[in-house]
Structure 1
Amino acid sequence: MTVYLDPPLWPRHGKVWGHLVSDTSVEELLAFAARAGIPERAFDRDHVDVPEEMYPELVRLGAVLVGTRELVRRLRGSGLRVTAAERHGRG
C-alpha cells in the first residue's frame, strides 16, 4: 500500500494543485484522503486533487513524493489510470 503525491504544478482557484494517487485501489486512495481531511469532491476518477499547502500533512501521513512522470507510471502500472477518452465519455 503506497499513496503517491506529485509536485504542485496546476494553478486554479488562487492555489497551486497536485495529485494524490494509489498504486493499489481507489478505496485506499479515498481512505487516505479522508484521513487527511480532504473532501470527496476532490476525487477525479483516478486521483485526488490536493492544494500545495496540504503537502506537509500528506507526507506526514505517509504519502510518497514523486515526479509527475513517476506518478503517472505508477498509476498506469496499477491499472487504475483513467484515460482522457474515458474521462470525457469517449472510451
Structure 2
Amino acid sequence: EPMPAPEPKPELQPKPQLEPKPEPTPAPEPTPAPTPVPDPKPESQPKPQLEPKSEQKKLPQTGSDEGYALGMAILGLSCLLTLADKKRKNKK
C-alpha cells in the first residue's frame, strides 16, 4: 500500500510542468502581429514620396568632418598653386 502513495506524487509533479507550458503559449500570440504586414504594402506607395525627402536629408549627413577638411585643404592648395602659376607667368 505505501507504493501507490508515491505514484500520485509523481503525477502531481508533472501537472505543475504542464502549467508553465500554457504560459509560453501566450508568447505565440504576439507572433500574429506580423500578419498586418500586408497593411504596410499599401503604405509603400506613400513611402517613396518620403524616401526622396529622407535622401535630401541624408545627403548633407553623408559628408564627414574629415572629408570636409580634406576638401577644403585641397581647394586651398589648388588656389595657392594657381596663384603661384599666375605670378610666374606674369613675371615672364
Return the TM-score normalized by structure 1: 0.16
Q: Which has the higher contact order (CA 8 A, sep 6+)?
A: 1
Higher-Rg member (1/2): 2
Structure with greater strand share of residues: 1
Return the TM-score normalized by structure 2: 0.16
